[in-house]
Amino acid sequence: MKLHATAPTAANAITGYGDGYVLVNGQRHESGMIVTPEQVLPWDVPGFEKLTAMDFEKLKSLKAEIILLGTGPRQRFPHPSLVASLGGLEVMDVKAACRTYNILVAEGRKVAAALLFR
């Protein structure tokens, strides 16, 4: 699915997604990633089942107001002990995380989307 911004912006936008990939500003990404309005970072997590507390420390260091966790093609919740130190975490499937990210960026919110594809 392609997504289009209603107004041009300097912030990173998710411009499309599909099975196993996300487009950020038209550039295709096929592995775990973190998207903020200012940057796109690799998120080297082998998959949802392999998440550790250390993986979430990288998210905490971003100091985002809201963190969206896209857990692949379906919504899955990490164990509460892994995310206990994070405030403002919202868990959803990747496609919902992409749509929500764009809405929050358009509102000027400090958001980070951590996306897993498997």
Domain positions in the chain: 14-116
Q: What is the predicted pLDDT for the residue at 86? A: 87
Give me the CATH code for the 14-116 domain, please. Answer: 3.40.1230.10
Q: What is the predicted pLDDT for the residue at 88? A: 82
pLDDT tens column, 66-75: 999 999 999 9
Look up the pTM and report it: 0.90
Sheet containing 27-29, strands listed edge to edge, beginning at the edge strand earlier in sequence = 14-18, 21-24, 27-29
Low-confidence ranges of the chain (pLDDT < 50): 6-7
Question: CA-CA distance, 76 to 59, in Å (whole number)?
Answer: 18
Question: CA-CA distance, 31 to 103, in Å (whole number)?
Answer: 23
Q: What is the predicted pLDDT for the residue at 46? A: 87
Q: What is the predicted pLDDT for the residue at 85? A: 83
Structure tokens at 113: 């989307």
Q: Cβ distance 45 to 31 under 8 Å? A: no
